[in-house]
Amino acid sequence: MGKLPNFTLGVEEEYQIIDPETRDLRSHMSKIVDGAKIFLKEQVKAEMHQSVVEVGTNICKTVQDARQEVAYLRNRIHHLAAEQGLLVGAAGTHPFSRWIDQAITDDPRYHTIINELQDTARGNLIFGLHVHVGIDNREVAMQLMNQACYFLPHIYALSTNSPFWEGRNTGFKAFRAKVFAKFPRTGLPEYFDSVQAYDNYLETLVKTNCIDNPKKIWWDLRMHPFFPTIEFRICDMCLTVDETICIVALIQAVVAKLYKLHLQNTSFNIYRIALIRENKFRAARYGTEGQMIDFGRKKEVPYKELMHELLDFIDDVVDELGSRKEIDYVRTILREGTGADKQLAVFQETGSLNSVVDFITDSFLKDIKE
């Protein structure tokens, strides 16, 4: 078997713009985005709510390249916000901001979505991490996407970072997905046995005016309609660069391992989406502290045991990808807790959601060396 392809990466992060006095979200995105475009051009853009800034890396050849770009983007947005007297944070939801108080960005694209989805769209005040992995062959990408679905809850649990919603402890480690589930065409993707079947599905939706373009397929994992990538969209926005890059490395390694099996004329088992949905719920509810279902053994297993099995599964591709250090950070997350665990610990200690917001903003540049 030959050398693995270079599984290029693209990382998108969505940041919260926060008032340092009230700790609430501040609809002040336009000045930050306009300032950032001087340096970052198309790497920064507005989102539907004016308190959200989205950034995206260039195409990265390695996980280390991705880390350098994510760190640079965080630094740049932090400094631009500081010039406006504002802070930046990274979490899947804001602990107490109410969506009804947030201004909508004046853009025809967002007006169209609001017109169609109404309060479902207005209430979508959430922040995610999206990871693209480059795959040139669409048929192979389709096969890998079908197989990778099994691992989505495992990856998702590590990213859980949205325990609060509009001032309440939701009881979930990741409530963001519950908010987003109100949108159509979200959640775990359908199974498609070929690219032709997938394209026929998209064509039907466009022809029947369900969507005006394929980007309105908002699944947890999708074959990107315009780039030669598969895009993992399930994760909460992570507190720190270390957490983001760990998850990026894990996603890349899972894709590389599945591709390696493909080269050996074999594949990972494909399980029913209805079963995987059970594990996704457990990931959202309990993060890394609960149990998941091992479908092969048909029994509940502690999440951490399944994650160590996943680390063993991908071990033979990690060194070729050059990402062992980044992958090993999984063990740190399992030991120290996810962003949600840390937010909840601050709240338990202080009883203050303002303190939780301070923790989020203090963590934004934690792993970045100036």
Q: For the chain, how far is it from start to end, CA to CA, in angstroms? A: 42
Least confident of 47-56, 251-260, 282-291: 47-56
pLDDT at residue 246 in the model: 98
pLDDT at residue 30 in the model: 62
Least confident of 74-83, 243-252, 273-282: 74-83
Q: Which of 128, 234, 235, 119 has the alpha carbon at shortest distance from 182?
A: 119
Q: What is the mean pLDDT of residues 215-244?
A: 94
119 confidence band (pLDDT: 50, 70, 90) = confident
DSSP state of 220: S
Mapped onto helix, strand or coil, the DSSP state of residue 104 is strand
The string of pLDDT tens digits covering residues 30-71 is 667 666 665 666 677 666 567 888 999 999 999 999 999 999
Q: What is the mean pLDDT of residues 194-203?
A: 93
- CB-based contact 57:66 (threshold 8 Å): yes
Confidence check: pLDDT of 242 > 80: yes
Sketch the domain layout of the chain as residue ranges.
9-363
DSSP state of 303: H
Query: 3.30.590.20, 3.40.50.1820, 3.30.110.30, 3.40.640.10: which CATH number matches 9-363?
Result: 3.30.590.20
pLDDT at residue 70 in the model: 97
Q: Which of 175, 188, 183 has the alpha carbon at shortest distance from 145?
A: 188
Q: What is the mean pLDDT of residues 130-141?
A: 95
Mean per-residue pLDDT of the chain: 91
% of the chain beyond a pLDDT of 70: 92
pLDDT at residue 137 in the model: 93
Burial of 151 (0-12, 13-18, 19+ CB in 10 A): buried
The string of pLDDT tens digits covering residues 312-363 is 999 999 999 999 999 999 999 999 999 999 999 999 999 999 999 999 999 9
Confidence check: pLDDT of 29 > 60: no
pLDDT at residue 164 in the model: 98
**Ramachandran category for residue 366: left, alpha or beta (phi over 0 → left; psi -120 to 50 → alpha):** alpha
Higher pLDDT, 183 or 261: 261
pTM of the model: 0.94
pLDDT at residue 311 in the model: 98
Confidence check: pLDDT of 92 > 70: yes
Q: What is the mean pLDDT of residues 155-178?
A: 97
Least confident of 130-134, 224-228, 345-349: 224-228
